[in-house]
Amino acid sequence: MAMELSWQELEQHHKLISEGSIAELFNKDKNRFNKFSMRFEGILLDYSKNLIDETTIKLLLKLAAESNLSEWRERIFSGEKINHTEERAVLHTALRTPKTDKLIVDGENIIPQVHSVLEQMEGFVEKIHSGEWQGFSGKRITDIINIGIGGSDLGPRMVVNALHPWQSPNITSHFVSNLDGRELSDTLERVEPSTTLFLIASKTFTTLETMTNATTARNWFLQQSGSSEDAISNHFAAISTNIDECLKFGIARDSIFHFWDWVGGRYSLWSAIGLSIAVSLGMKQFRKLLAGAHAMDNHFREAPLAENMPLILALLGVWNRNFSTIESLAILPYESSLNLFPSYLQQLDMESNGKQVDRAGDSVKHQTSSLLWGESGSNGQHSFFQFLHQSQTRVAIDFIGTINPEHKLKGHHHKLTANMLAQSEALMGGRSIEQAQQGLATTDLPSSKQQLLAPYKTFPGNTPSNMLLLDRLDPYTLGSLIALYEHKVFAQGVIWNINSFDQMGVELGKELAKEVQYELESGNGARKNQHDDSTRNLINIFLERRVSRH
């Protein structure tokens, strides 16, 4: 009942504040930036370009308090099984906890288990980097291919891509996830079997996409190398809980890395799933990534709600999604190394909070999650920014930039940052018809042409945005940034009263695909009464027009 009252208060407040604009709020308060910005170590969050005032934040914090956010926050860190549909704890935070800490789950301290795997990873990485680990022909490993899907691919792929300045000079990293054989085929064409190590990342070691690609890679290796199956152990490692299947595949027991059912796929890069990160960058940098995430964990757990960066980001998202009714969130990193970050956040956010049922099994009363998308700047300025500026669809935006780039090319970074800051200002301030007319009056165009063009030169503005400005994009800061969004998503799930840690929405398509796969592979076509008329015809047309390449 208390939450319903807070919700109603926010709805009434929005009616009042939406009569004005963000630009007007800046004109009224010259100290607005200081009121609506905060810093955590190397990350600055400026949220002043949102349609908010001090009353908005007060009411949003009241909503968080009445959602029992503080209690839920402690429950996730203490190992309680808050993923109630799967009866699991949610402890990706434990994966970056120092060795000296203690966390009891089901009567056992899990921290020693976590660090045992980290030590196993460290020994493995050292062998690869030193050249001690050799392929079947006695050559050192020069290429690693991570084969996974979802969280077993996207997280590690994003991190390795973002931190390429720290890439080991002796290792080239590749990632394969898509069931489309073209991705694996193209990757295999770039490597030699004698110097390639495959990392198979699958919790169950039965995932369709991963095991299809892994089996094909295994067959390719045996055919191209001319080796016996004994050589598999020199060129394949696994991250899995299914030890028996890994051993059957030919992977040595010492090359099987364990993780736990309290590690969700989209939160798993901190676990042994991050082995490709560790091999690519070195274990020292992987530990820095963990340390940055742990620092953000402590901030989220201990900071007062009003000074809590993940919570403030979450509340702004709730405000824009539920009260400003903005359905879409664009993630725009003005740092090309973060070009995969929007895709990573798509999975983190939409797979977690794209839900229609609450914790009691009832229909959710409010919209949840946002349609999340994005592209790195300044490329996006030459594609969809026209839409952001002048379409009738409003989009909330998170800009992400760095102050100190990792490259040394002069002149680039100031221009890049100028574009990012200018775009956030332009999207917020817009341009009125009077301003457009004044600008055109300074040109040599005839007055009739000026009058014609003025409407086309107007911009509605009032687009809300956050600015996340990083001192630099290094392993520690990236760890903090990822954890910031993890906790944001969790906090929003608490406010919406949903379970952010299951993903049952992905199951139906998988179930139906098994039936269709059987019909395609049998070559007999769609079985009678198994599908709708469209699907049945598409299956049959596919088989009729399919040309075998073998």
The catalytic site residues sit at 351, 382, 510
With a CB cutoff of 8 Å and minimum separation 6, the contacts of 526 are 519, 535, 536, 539, 540
SS3 at position 341: helix
List, in order, residues 6 or more apart from 533 with CB less than 8 Å away: none
Report helix, strand or coil for 535.
helix
Q: Would you state the structure tokens that stand for residue 205, as one six-digit string? A: 């070691």
Q: Which of 401, 373, 390 is nearest to 427 (CA)?
A: 390
Q: For the purposes of burial, counting CB atoms within 10 Å of the CB of 440, is it exposed (0-12), middle (13-18) or buried (19 or more)?
A: middle
Task: Decide the pairing of beta strands 256-257 and 104-105.
Answer: unpaired
- DSSP letter (8 states) at residue 473: -
DSSP for 195-254, written as a single string: GEEEEEE-SSS--HHHHHHHHHHHHHHHHHH---GGGHHHHEEEE-S-HHHHHHHT--GG
Distance between CA atoms of residues 120 and 144, nearest Å: 18
DSSP state of 483: H
Integer CA distances (angstroms), 152 to 38, 389, 487, in order: 33, 36, 20
**Cross-strand pairs, 395:** 328
Sign of CA pseudo-dihedral 380, 335, 326, 423:
negative
Per the listing, tokens 């709020």 go with 25
**CA distance readout (Å), 107 to 72, 87, 103, 285:** 21, 16, 9, 32
DSSP letter string over 53-64?
-HHHHHHHHHHH
In sequence order, what E strands does 293-335 have? 328-334
- Cβ neighbours of 299 (radius 10 Å): 20
- Using CB atoms within 10 A of its CB, is residue 472 exposed (0-12), middle (13-18) or buried (19+)? middle
Instruction: Show Cβ contacts of residue 133 under 8 Å, excluding neighbours closer than 6 positions.
Output: 124, 127, 140, 141, 197, 234
